Structure 1
Amino acid sequence: MELEKLIELDKKHFIHPTSSIQQQQANGPKAIIKKGEGIYLTDKNDNVYIDAMSSLWNVNVGHGREELVEAAAEQMKKLAFSSTFSTFSNEPAILLAEKISSIAPKGLNAVFFTSGGSESNDTAIKLARHYWRIQDKPEKRKIIGLNRAYHGVAAASTSATGIPEFWSMAGKMMVDIYHADNPYGNGTVKAIQSLRSVIESEGPETVAAFIAEPIQGAGGVLIPPKDYFQEVRNLCDDYGILFIADEVITGFGRTGKWFGIENYGVTPDVISFAKGVSSGYIQLGGVIVSDQIHDVLKDKSSGTLFHGYTYSGHPTAAAVGLKNIEILEEEELVENSRAMGEVMLEGFNKLKEDLDIVGDVRAIGLLGAVELVEDPALNKRFSRDLQVAPKVIEALHQRGVICRAVTYEDTDIICFSPPLIINKKQIETMTEKLHDAIKEVRNGLSATLK
């Protein structure tokens, strides 16, 4: 269909997620993507972009993988869909649950499937509350998350999210969810003191679980101190609280490990996942629970577990997930994520040396960020009305790079999570374009900064 007609239809009929409706109506869609191949996306005008965000942190094996198309088609020919309610099952779901258990941290061996990350985190929260209820502790239902966390946009996951902008639309829709300070600037000691304070003020006998991302993604790729999660684990053990690791972004090789929490030598009680499990080729997510939790569910549950989604254990989605993990293993993409992440961080550090508005830079595997500040030495932030990070994003778009800005609170952060198949030359091209984009914006700010 002609581009102008598509733009007209988009404006008339398509309400975009996490987008400005006014901007869409004024300008139409930013780009209409028609093709993906490797790390690249092509739009209807034949502009080619480096997909420096893996679209939404999720296209881990890259675009256009015929193996995943074939896996879906082969499964659809046999059994496209069959419900797994009432103990019905199917072979791909069984095999994927087994496979995920084999790569998960030791002791986590049972999987509940969902269609995506928001559903996964809602499921993790509900299972945590159910776990305590069936042990005659219904009062243990409170959930503690972190400020700047992002856990999704369903009822519980929105409430657990620690970014106030996500509450303004419809409010916190689930009660008994609280937030502690994160460690990404506060340090481990202050962050643990904050968490302990919330636990003790609410009463540990009322707290079901603590939930956190190993690295806060949408909050700005915020990487915690190395000892933070060990202290979290100790605190949860001391108070009898479950620890949920939200691995929706960090799972399946993104950080150079199968799961991000492995970077900290800690085993959670529950892992929520999505995104990289299917590299975005089909909707798939889930929750992995510890053997101890599974044993309690088996021993104490009576009657029906009244939780499940139409597509839980979807056979086609599971078949794609299995093939996706096979690709990650055969092409050693988890290791490539680690190695190329080091290259990416090296490039970011060169930006910091060369450009006077580049502040903190960071990366763990192929998950990284560059902060822009008016004065790096003083960590002086730009005025909000300057919108520096969005300007850099636009300059990158013009240079053929798609990535993401985070401007919560007083930050100007550029986030990166390219596909795990990316190579050294492609990373160098990406960082060169980033250098030029930041330099262009910096030059445009010269009069303001004087």
Structure 2
Amino acid sequence: MTDTLTPTTVAFADRHGVEYALPDAAADAQVRADDRAHVFHSWSAQKQIDPLPVAGGDGATFWDYSGKRYLDFSSQLVNLNLGHQHPDLVAAIQNQAGRLATIQPAMASDVRGELARRIAGVAPGDLERVFFTNGGADANEFAVRMARRVTGRRTVLAAYRSYHGGSGTPIALTGDPRRWANEPGDPSVKHFFGPYLYRSAFSATTETEETRRALEHLENVIVLEGASTIAAIVLETIVGTNGVLVPPPGYLPGVRALCDKYGIVYIADEVMVGFGRTGHWFAVDGFDVTPDLITFAKGVNSGYVPLGGVIISERIASFFDDVVFPGGLTYSGHPLACAAGIATFEVFERDGILERVRDLGSRVVEPTVRGWLERHPSLGEVRGSGLFWALELVRDRDTREPLVPFNATGADAAPMGEVAAACKVAGLWPFMHFNRMHIAPPLVISEEDLVRGLAIIDDALTVADRYAR
């Protein structure tokens, strides 16, 4: 079933009464023409892409101008935690726009202050202050600036297989191929190997070994780079785009201990995994560790209006009591974005979002994807937490040869393209990266749609199985 509407059907009347009469070939053609003629897309060779025109969306579903609907199993860019067109978020933005659409960050705003208070209320430890940004990249940019200013040091350590944003310092921190074309970057950023037991850089065979050897490696890097020069270690709590790499037990507390030992600021990048993705307000809550700074964006208001920020510990915040913080943004803590953030908290609390994510993750997703290991020879490993999982596809389970090479393009990447195409034909929009498919639907997805989406992926994996030895 492709879930495509007939030409005479109204596609959807959303919760605001807006109707979409589809198919609409003329609208599709106009959107395509405008996009191809005038929009310059990120991370793309412009003539080699064909973006899908989207007509509308609701909850865990969006649709194109032909009327074809897709289950959004990527939450767009793993930011749409409360789904498309959530009525509470839409209403909050509308109400705020009606009374005060914007105000500069040097002035006090009721919604900015309330959202900061709510974020501090769920943050771990003594992280009580919030510096608002426009998104995740600038959150990481300013977190590093804080660490450098407080410590008086310059060097920052970040992991390979990471992504921290597309601007200056964040792209230098990034440990995936998107950094390469942007070099030379910040020469004071150095990289190290984080834990990844399935493809261990340390020849580990157990989680205990991986934790111990990864921490030994990190300490060696600290010592050899000069501990007295290192301002911060920046880590995605659970690595996102680069593999949903869940740290083994003891690793993050070990990082915390190393930071304390050498006077280094620990920055937890929770841009992708914060605000419920793993069933916790912040993913660090599941690892019994408190960073010095937490960066966030995406799920704080599902991206309805751009918003990000840095949550700051008392030690770091107090440093700037009488020292000027050298940074700021025109739209920091924009009232429309903050209003949607407050509404997000209200929905999470009213609808038990964290509890349902933990339930659906453990009761539905985990047993389903682990069951696939018995039936799909192309599936090397599954890993994840809550509603955030990765399927690692291989050609050979024994050698763990990836289904496609690292950073594959063109014909080399074709097998993964075929798997993605099978999902799309069946009405599911997947999140693909290198040899992995990620499962990251909106946190409000119904159990019925979650099960249906997983069944579509199950069928699509038979395409990958044809390449397995």
TM-score (norm 1): 0.92
Show the counterpart of 1:362.
383
Contact 1:340 1:422 in 2 (8 A): no
1:40 aligns with 61
CA distance in 2, matches of 1:351, 1:427: 16
2:74 corresponds, among 23, 35, 53, to 53
Give the alignment of 1:167-316 within 5 angstroms: 167-185=179-197, 186=200, 187-298=210-321, 300-301=322-323, 304-316=324-336
The answer to whether the aligner puts 1:3 opposite 2:16 as a matched pair is no
The residue that corresponds to 1:350 in the other structure is 371
Deviation at 1:383, TM superposition (A): 5.1
SS in 1 for 2:309: strand
Q: Distance in 2 between matches of 1:217 and 1:183?
A: 14
Q: Which residue of 1 aligns with 2:357?
A: 337
1:157 maps to 2:178: no
* Partner residue in 2 for 1:100: 119
Distance 1:434 1:327 in 2: 29
Question: In structure 2, what is the Cα distance between the partners aligned to 1:277 and 1:72?
Answer: 14
Change in 2 beyond 3 A, CA 1:442/1:146: same
The one-letter code of the counterpart of 2:317 is H
Contact 1:372–1:388 (8 Å) recurs in 2: no
Q: Contact between 2:137 and 2:166, CA under 8 Å: does it hold in 1? A: yes
Amino acid at match of 2:394: V
The one-letter code of the counterpart of 1:226 is P
What residue number does 2:147 align with?
A: 128
Number of equivalenced pairs: 426
Alpha-carbon distance change, 168 to 43 in structure 1, aligned in 2, over 3 angstroms: same
State the identity %.
34
Contact 1:180 1:191 in 2 (8 A): no
Given candidates 136, 155, 161, the residue that maps to 1:117 is 136
Contact 2:137-2:170 at 8 Å conserved across structures: yes
Which of 93, 102, 107 matches 1:72?
A: 93
Write out the 4+ residue segments of structure 1 that deviate beyond 3 Å after TM superposition: none
User: Unaligned regions of 5+ residues in structure 2, if any?
Assistant: 1-25, 201-209, 406-411
1:290-313 residue CA offsets vs partner (Å, 9 max, x unmatched)? 111112221x41xx4330111102
Q: Contact 2:103–2:109 at 8 Å: present in 1 too?
A: yes
Deviations 1:202-259 (A, max 9, x none): 2111101101011100111111102110110111111111100000011011111110
Q: Which residue of 2 aligns with 1:23?
A: 48
Separation of aligned partners in 1, 2:89 and 2:193? 41
Amino acid at match of 1:357: S
> How far apart in 2 are the matches of 1:383 and 1:399?
23
CA distance in 1, matches of 2:274, 2:55: 27
RMSD: 1.5
Aligned residue in 1 for 2:37: 12
**Offset of 1:386 from its aligned partner?**
5.5
The residue aligned with 2:455 is 432
| CA positional deviation for 1:44 | 1.2
Partner in structure 2 of residue 135 of structure 1:
none
Question: Which secondary structure does the structure 1 equivalent of 2:233 belong to?
Answer: strand
Distance 1:219 1:72 in 2: 33
* AA partner of residue 192 (structure 2): A
* TM-score, length-scaled by structure 2: 0.88
**What does the per-residue CA deviation read over 1:320-355, in whole Å, with 9 as the maximum and x for residues that have no partner?**
111111111111111111111121111111211111
Q: Helix, strand or coil: the match of 2:57?
A: strand
Q: Can you list the C-alpha shifts for 1:378-435, whole angstroms capped at 9, x where unaligned?
A: 423335326432321121111111122121xxxx110111111123322221111011
1:388 aligns with 2:412: no
CA shift in 2, pair 1:104/1:386, >3 Å: closer
Structure 1, unmatched stretches of 5+, are 133-137
